[in-house]
Amino acid sequence: MVPPLIVPVLQGLPWGYYYPTLVEWLSSLGIVAFGLFLYTVAIKALPIDTIKDIREEK
């Protein structure tokens, strides 16, 4: 006999409802805002030119 089969089947947990709290909403919003901020800083700080722009400068 296989020992795990001796244990009776466990009943599942009752269904519950979850709604994020204000702290969780603000944390998610802050992460997105920080990502956009980093993207904006990178666009301003790093030179991004197309090949066409580089050829026109010469």
Nearest to 47 by CA among 32, 34, 57, 35: 57
pLDDT at 34: 99
pTM comes to: 0.58
The CA distance from 58 to 55, in Å, is 6
pLDDT at 12: 73
DSSP letter, residue 11: P
Which amino acid does the sequence have at 42?
Answer: A
Residue 47: per-residue pLDDT? 78
Instruction: Note the pLDDT of residue 57.
Output: 63
pLDDT at residue 48 in the model: 75
Token representation of residue 21:
């709290």
Q: Tell me: the pLDDT tens digits for 5-52? A: 666 666 776 778 889 999 999 999 999 999 999 999 998 898 776 666
